[in-house]
Amino acid sequence: MKGWRWLGAMLLVGCANGMAVCPNWSPVRAEQEMGVLHNQLRHWDDAYYRQGQSPVSDADYDSLQQRLQQWQRCFSPALPGYAVQLSTDGSTLHPVAHTGVRKLRDKLAVAYWMQDKPALWVQPKVDGVAVTLVYRHGELAGLISRGDGLRGEQWLAKAPYIAAIPQHIATDRAEVVLQGELFLTMTDHQQARDGGQNARAQVAGAMMRREASPLLSRIGVFIWAWPDGPPMMQARLAQLTQWGFALTQQWSRQVSNEEEVAAWRERWYRQPLPFVTDGVVIHQSPQRVGRDWQPGQGSWSAAWKYQPAEVSSEVLSVDFNVGRTGKIAVVLNLQPVQLEDKTVRRVNLGSLRRWKQWDVIAGDQVTLSLAGLGIPRLERVIWRVAQRDYPLPPQDDAFNPLSCLHFSPGCRAQFLSRLSWLSHKSVLDIAGMQRSSWQRLLDGGSISHLFSWLTLTPEEIAQAQGISTVRARQIWHRFNLTRQQPLRRWISALGLTLPRTALQALPDTQWSQLLARSADSWQQLPGIGSVLAQRLVTMLQDARLQSLIHFLQQQNIPAQPSVLGVGVVENRQTEAEAQRQQAGEEAEQ
């Protein structure tokens, strides 16, 4: 839980945030931001430890705690970092300290850790609340929360309500100390399907309440350590089963290599289990007697956790992207994070209205997940910086399907989106013309309106920065090939929004036929109703659109059948050479 995990968080924060950049804040603002977050964490600590409530998920809490510690290293490195101050008594000394386990990142790390270690066993990493059970002369004498690993809270009064904890064990030992996990018993729980279900917080809440909760009857116990037990794992498991802790033997498997560990990890991730898990733990017989155990020094156990379904990241900036039709999409640029097998650097919020509803700006902390097809999705904003410096968004009505047909500085985003659209295979199919290539031509002043590139010569194209002479000839060649495209392709290039079925059924072959169409004639095409038909008539009457159509007519586009192919001779050797040159230039760029 949050209390006993602070030590692990402190050990990991250096790695997790080692490359994080300090905020560009004044000392006054830094003190304000750190103070607000510090007070919020203290409030959550109090709710968790005194009231048994969990108003924020453990993952979000840990992320914000690490963030505060990062700020403290940036602005007050001489002062101690944030640490949980237990609001409970937490004064009961553990007979044997909780050491924690080493975290392994992937299968390769598992393989390195397993080298030269004999007699290894793997178990599910049960997601619950860590405790110490103390038996003296066979009678249960202590049930201690993990706390900081050395001291915890005495929960013995709750033990009679937990049927899974034997009140007596048959042993001739004067003292038996066991370490394990209190968990919420589940029925056919599949981790891959069901996730964590907040089970850990429910157990913690039930144990911390003053009164006995009905939930105590649903709590089980999984023993994962017997500090001074028999040296052989088989003997330990057999004895634990005799005492009533049968789950440990039931869910322990001997392994000899990382492939076997990976197989069990995958199997337990997908098969029904009686508890929530968050990975697997690999055990070796402890190398030290219990009295020598110390927090952070459990080298004989290591955990390989599942990839979290959600991760948190800091928002670095907010971009307002204008699409070719004038729609504005808000994109958050993020501190890169790993989510499953993807490195996530940005997430699309959608419209300006949604961005305003989310109320998220640079400096905020957000939680992400992967939606369908592996697309990053914003789940929630877990922290907002106190000083709200909002970026200036474009006006909602500044862009539309008829805006930015000609280039101007204020139209750069939409105009560049329009040019990029032309390259698509379903439009003009200009192979090799990526957004970056259009941007070079635009920056060089070569393009003034949506189709002015048709008149460029190879020499003019080569004047753009980063475009060689060979590459310029290839681009010119591709531009000329577009003259052979039929009218329907140029209609798409112009930005007229016709359904695909209507576009395929359109019999027109010249612009004059298109301009002569009435609303009624548009409705004769499949997928076009009265509203869309009137919109098409209105768009085609727009002077800006008509000027582009007039330009295309002057360029004999679409070409008449008699001139198709004239002046466009495909030199495949030159094209292959240009493609190799382009690949080298893009790699260098």
- The pLDDT assigned to 2 comes to 42
Q: What is the mean pLDDT of residues 10-18?
A: 37
CATH number for the region 485-559 comes to 1.10.150
Give dist(CA 201, CA 49) in Å, integer: 11
Q: How confident is the model at residue 197 (pLDDT cuts 50, 70, 90)?
A: confident
Residue range 27-76 forms a domain whose CATH class is mainly alpha
Tokens found for residue 166: 């034997």
Per-range mean pLDDT, top range of 46-50, 108-112, 192-196, 580-584:
108-112
Active-site amino acid positions: 125
* 46-55, 313-322, 327-336: least confident range: 46-55
Give dist(CA 17, CA 332) in Å, integer: 20
- The pLDDT assigned to 577 comes to 44
- The pLDDT assigned to 51 comes to 61
- The pLDDT assigned to 13 comes to 36
> CB of 541 within 8 A of CB of 518?
no
pLDDT tens for each residue of 440-474 = 999 988 899 999 999 999 999 999 999 999 999 99
Tokens found for residue 452: 């002015």
- The pLDDT assigned to 559 comes to 80
Which architecture characterizes domain 310-383 according to CATH? Beta Barrel (2.40)
User: Which class for 483: exposed (0-12), middle (13-18), buried (19 or more C-beta within 10 A)?
Assistant: buried
Q: How confident is the model at residue 50 (pLDDT cuts 50, 70, 90)?
A: low
- The pLDDT assigned to 11 comes to 34
Give dist(CA 325, CA 32) in Å, integer: 43
Q: What is the mean pLDDT of residues 187-215?
A: 87
Q: Residue 530, Cβ neighbours under 10 Å: how many?
A: 11
Tokens found for residue 96: 């044997």
Q: Which of 483, 378, 386, 466 is nearest to 430 (CA)?
A: 483
Q: Which of 278, 215, 219 is nearest to 5 (CA)?
A: 278
The number of angstroms, rounded, from the C-alpha of 59 to the middle of its chain's C-alpha atoms is 13
Q: What is the mean pLDDT of residues 225-248?
A: 94
The CATH number of domain 400-483 is 3.10.310.30: no
Q: Where are the beta strands (DSSP E) in 66-207?
A: 92-93, 102-103, 120-126, 129-136, 139-145, 151-152, 175-184
**How many Cα neighbours within 13 Å face the side chain of 368?**
30
pLDDT tops 60 at residue 579:
no
- The pLDDT assigned to 155 comes to 95
Which residue spans of the chain are classified as CATH 1.10.150.20?
400-483
- The pLDDT assigned to 562 comes to 47
- The pLDDT assigned to 585 comes to 41
pLDDT tens for each residue of 363-399 = 999 999 988 778 899 999 999 999 999 999 988 788 9
pLDDT tens for each residue of 238-285 = 999 999 999 999 999 999 999 999 999 999 999 999 999 999 999 987
- The pLDDT assigned to 586 comes to 42
- The pLDDT assigned to 49 comes to 63
- The pLDDT assigned to 210 comes to 82
Q: What is the DSSP string of 336-385?
A: EEEETTEEEEEEEEESHHHHHHHT--TT-EEEEEE-GGG-EEEEEEEE--
Which residue spans of the chain are classified as CATH 3.30.470.30?
95-305
pLDDT tens for each residue of 78-100 = 888 887 665 455 689 999 999 98
Q: What is the mean pLDDT of residues 40-61?
A: 77
Mean pLDDT, the chain, integer? 87
- The pLDDT assigned to 204 comes to 86
Per-range mean pLDDT, top range of 46-50, 134-138, 206-210, 390-394:
134-138
pLDDT tens for each residue of 540-570 = 999 999 999 999 999 999 987 644 444 343 3
- The pLDDT assigned to 360 comes to 96
Q: How confident is the model at residue 231 (pLDDT cuts 50, 70, 90)?
A: confident
Helix intervals (H) in 244-365:
246-250, 258-270, 352-358
Burial 39-67 (b: 16+ CB within 10 A, else e): eebeebbebbbeebbbebbbbbbbbbbbb
pLDDT tops 60 at residue 14:
no
pLDDT tens for each residue of 136-182 = 999 999 999 988 888 899 999 999 999 999 999 999 999 999 999 99
More confident residue, 551 or 576: 551
Q: What is the dihedral of CA 511, 516, 518, 521, to 10 degrees?
A: -70
pLDDT tops 60 at residue 587:
no
Which residue spans of the chain are classified as CATH 1.10.287?
27-76
Q: What is the mean pLDDT of residues 499-507?
A: 92
Q: How many residues does the structure list for the chain? A: 589
Q: What is the mean pLDDT of residues 496-517?
A: 92
| Non-local CB neighbours of 190 within 8 Å, separated by 6+ positions | 270, 271, 272, 273
Residue range 95-305 forms a domain whose CATH class is alpha beta
